[in-house]
Structure 1
C-alpha cells in the first residue's frame, strides 16, 4: 500500500537522504492524494506538509552543493 511504501522510504531517507529523498517526496504525494480521495483531508494535509519539508531540505542541500 502507499502507507507501507511511505514507511519504508522514511527509513531509507533517514539513512540515505540524498539517494532516496526524491522518490520519498513522490510517494508522500501519492499517499496524500489517496488519503484525500478517501475523505481524509486532515491527514492528507499533514502528509503534504511532510513532503514540503523534504522538498525544502532537498533544495537546501542542492544550494549547499552549488
Structure 2
C-alpha cells in the first residue's frame, strides 16, 4: 500500500506532469487515506454532519 501511494505522489509531484501537487496537498491526501485505511473517515463525517450514517449503520438499497 505504501509503495502504491508513493508511486502516485511521485508521479503527481514530477515536473513532467501538467497538474502538480504541492507538498501541503500531498500531505492532506495522505491524511485522508490513513483515515480511510483505519476505517475512521466515516466516523469523522458523522461527527461533522449530523445525520450522516455511522460505520455500524446498515444501508437499504432500493432498485
TM-score computed with the length of structure 2 as normaliser = 0.34
More helix by share: 1
Q: Which has the higher contact order (CA 8 A, sep 6+)?
A: 1
